[in-house]
Structure 1
Amino acid sequence: GGQTITTPVSALTGQGVPELLELVLLQAEVMELKADPKGTLAGSVVEAKLEKGRGPVATILVQNGTLKMGDSIVVGSTFGRIKAMTDYRGGKMTEAGPSTPVEVLGLSDVPAAGDKVEFYPDEKSAREVAQKRQEEERAKTYVVKARGLTLRDLRNKLSEEGLKQLNLVIKADVQGSVEAVRGMLEKVRNEEVEAKIILSGVGGVTKADIDLAAASEAIVVGFNVKPDGEARKEAEKRGVEIRTYNIIYELIEDIEAAAKGMLEPKFEESHLGTVEIRVRFQFSKKGIIAGSYVTEGKVTRNALCRVTRGKEEVYAGKVATLRHLKDDVREVTLGMECGLTFDDWT
């Protein structure tokens, strides 16, 4: 007697999939779900992310009308003129009709999942609408404070100053992660304190995020992202704490524990420097030797390290040996060349 249709399916064997598709069509017919390819454009963002070399990328599901190359659109508080369209296989498209998912490039920023897509006759009018919405959002979240805050300081703030609010700046790798983290953190509250998210977005932690955190006495939380060099230096200078996580439950547990004043000590990363591997040698006995150049800070022997290729982490471990020219050295600093080997990486 309920309103929800259910059917058993198996992704492994394909059992029940034909029945599921029939029921979807039946339900659409019963609910009179219709769309006009020639009507006013309407759609929603399914997922969005910031890709290196491509900029903001949004996956949009067209719900009415037809989305075409070159269209000027407003998506939530972002805008843009569509420069490229691809289907779910990566093939190029020139237009997308109702019920068609499409990945688009050309937006000014990364939209939020669920944002509505609206058509505008030109890019100028789309920009004006988007900027007005951005100003309204800033007005809602604008907070003026004086200094940074760490999770370990939270208990003192609660007792000494009666702090009732924990301000957070959230950055994640994709919009779906942002929404998941945001949704869970917004539920963190007790009789003493509640979490308030003053900014959430896609991409690495930047200096602008640190400036906002310092002004609003907030903590910066990163999920599957890292701060850039400038952001890290600014955070140290202004006393802003940056916490990065790869597991969402650890993130939530830390914030909940801090709100209760029971945060356990945590081993935190201390960033020493960054090197660029410029040439790679493979030896049967020594393993991999990386001819490198120090681009930031310094590198030291026996330091823990990560090696990434693009966004993919290909090694995590320890620097085994460090050489400059023909000499074994303890550390190599900014602007110098060096040779590295790594523990258990062959």
Structure 2
Amino acid sequence: MPRLRVDELAKKLNMPPEEVLQELQELGLEVKSTSSYIDEETVSLILEIFEDETTSGKGPKTKKVKEEKEQEYREEILIKPEDLVLKTFAAKIGVPVNRIIQDMFVKGIALNPNQRIDEKQAKEIARMYGYRVRFEQEQLEDKETSVGESKLEKIEKYFEQLYITKKNELVTRPPVVTVMGHVDHGKTTLLDKIRKTRIAEQEVGGITQSIGAYQVEYAGKKITFIDTPGHELFTEMRAKGVQVTDIVVLVVAADDGVMPQTIEAYNHAKAANVPVIVAINKIDKPNANVEATKQQLVTKLNLIPEDWGGDTIVVPISARTGQGIDQLLEMILLLAEIKEIKCYPKGPARAAIIESKVDRALGPVANAIVKDGILNVGDYIVAGPVYCKVRALIDDKGRRIKSAEPSQPVMIVGFEELPDIRYTIYAVESLELAQEIAQEVKEKLEKEKPSKRKISLEELLKIMEESEKKELNIVLKADTVGSLNAVQNAVLSLKSSVQEIKVNVVHAGVGTINTGDVMLASASDGMVIGFRVKVDSQARKVAESEGVEIRTYEIIYDLIDNLKRALEGMLQPEYVEELVGRGEIKKVFKIKKVGNVAGVQMIEGYVTRDSVVKVYRNGVLLLSDQIESLKHYKQDVSRIDAPQECGIKLKTREDFQEGDELEFYVIKQVPRKLENVTTSPGNQ
């Protein structure tokens, strides 16, 4: 029996792929998706197990293995809806949040302590550390609005809780796919082929100039595609509103390989925690080299293709001829099935804005994708400080429609002001409520306006210290590849010198600091560091509004020294003992209700009431203790200097005797330093 993918094995077993995947994971096999491969020996064993289960009707082998596996789990933990914030969940299962973040990052999933996780992620994380979790259902309708909670916050909470309170009513929705990659690698041509239209030829210079979302049908199932000209939008949508994209298709040209914008696009997808399918395009070209491109995926992006033993779906295609596109669409639907992309299909709508513009005929409009509920003509909607009554809905084919369902792209007509893409659209029950929410947001923005400022590196680290987060995310930009390598090596040296603070380079690139860099830093609660590069004017404005600090340097030592000083301030100090005095016990006084008191002759230095005392007998350490009381004759004192005498009562020990020698120590905090931080020669 040859090795098989999980979905191929599922066909042989006549079972749903996701069910087989779950069974295999519960049996302890390292399979991450239904497109993962299983070796020959394991395939034979699994077929044997499932055959026994089928023929017996009871599945003795499977049951036995499962029972054995169950015993490995330590306990079952009850999780409430409010526990589904990563740091709270970590505390609930008793695993340090930094460890979870690190372990999940190794799996290619970026998390942060304040991130809300879903039930599936919670189960996966708990399973990693030997726990099972069950979830407490909570009815949102029975809860009163919290004190001080705004109407918008109440609506946001309602949609968040839907996925818990209405879990049994959720349905599968079409995946929303964003196509990303380096300029001229064929993103729009790919969409053109999929939609069987000629959009690419209509674009100025062959480069996408506008943002669109389109829905296609393949194998009886729908897929929504977003075509975007840049990564700023992608990150901004993720950072400020409901996450739009379910899957990213990263287009890489087989004749060009992984380029700077390829890396930037992947970093944005990784920061957004969105799964990636790689489409290696232009395989019809004479100089195309698919294997070399796969090698670059490994070395530059750490993405290992499935056929190389990894978990990344890689599909060779030609957007021009159409070769491989059917397989790409199959993989998108397969991944969507694995990820269980769902929505709540009833009630008021929630939608994500992908573009807003002023149309000459229609006025301010928003191109949006519905995420939950049904959006109808006549609905009252609010998007941050802007609200309206929906006058018309226009689908991706230009037709007027009466309603839009989840994952459907639609143009919304009726706004009097231009809505900002950073806000989520919510349908509400009345015009009055829409007005009230918009006014709340406006007032909040006005209050924040005077105090809005950039957070410095030192302030950022202080906040980290207070929140126990201790994670610094950095976007690096440099003037040349050599300079960038030197800076990255230096930052890696910083990382290896301190374990308490996690220093992450979320993106590194060559060239001017732009708005995409700033938005990525904002999305990851980090900062931008530039080496011998300028900052474009738009990026400065966005940094100001987003509260992102940008620091630029001309000398690499200045950059590293600055980071070192900031990080050193975050390190827990070391505690050292400093010898301050010596003495000898001349007499032991046994006092009723007090105990033994040592009569001590100070020989050198001094002793204080908060000193640590080490007692030696015949040159051997007898005990170490703290001082309960220090007296000079009958007076309590805080310090005695040599050659004076004193009486000392220890806190816990009394087994000292005449002739014992004493050493007195004080505990001092010593600031820690980062050592062995170097830079590469020749790149200064």
Tell me if TM exceeds 0.5: no
Larger Rg: 2
* Greater helix fraction, Structure 1 or Structure 2: 2
TM-score by length of 2: 0.22
